[in-house]
Amino acid sequence: MNEIYNKVLEKLVEEGDSDEIEYFKEDFSEVVSAGQKEIIPLLIKGHYFKYFNREELYQISELLSYKDILPEDVQKSSVLLSDLIKAGIQSAKIELINTVKSIISKDEPRMLYSILDKNCLESFSSEEVNALFKGLNIEKILSLNFNFALDIMIKLLDSGFIMKLLWI
């Protein structure tokens, strides 16, 4: 089913037929409403959400159950959430915040690195990033392999995180 949708949508976009794209969007909404939500990642990966307006995106987001569509791999699910945020689905931002907070509370710097490495927080303001990483255990990161710790610290700074470093 996903492969068929992908091929049809690629062809519609290629030909630029606005009536057909409109029909596809209506059909997509019906498919999602019927419970076939596995089609959503396909639209995200293909960047087809740009054909939906804000109201349509909001309606789609109301139907989303992130547990149903997100892969178990934290990095892949974070990238997917980041794409949803860029498409205008704000509930995805809450889900990504919860994912990052969970990683921070579990003290798992390697998982944090995978999210930072994919620039999943690029749609966050520096205030949001700072609030998100407020409880981050910097000492735990610094206790890792030096190069890995340095990579994490650089990625944190690149994401907008402002930290106080104590020199002893």
Q: Model confidence over 26-83: pLDDT tens digits?
A: 777 777 777 776 777 677 666 677 777 778 777 777 776 777 677 788 888 888 888 8
Of 43 and 22, more confident: 22
Q: Model confidence over 125-143: pLDDT tens digits?
A: 888 998 988 888 888 888 8
- What is the C-alpha separation between 29 and 99, in angstroms, rounded? 27
What residues have CB less than 8 Å from 151, skipping those under 6 apart? Answer: 113
Summarize the confidence of residues 91-95 as an average pLDDT: 88
pTM of the model as a whole: 0.73
| Whether 72 contacts 61, CB under 8 Å | no
Split at pLDDT 50, 70, 90, the class of 96 is very high
Of 129, 117, 128, 133, the C-alpha closest to 76 is 117
Give the whole-number percent of the chain exceeding pLDDT 70: 82
- What is the C-alpha separation between 152 and 142, in angstroms, rounded? 9
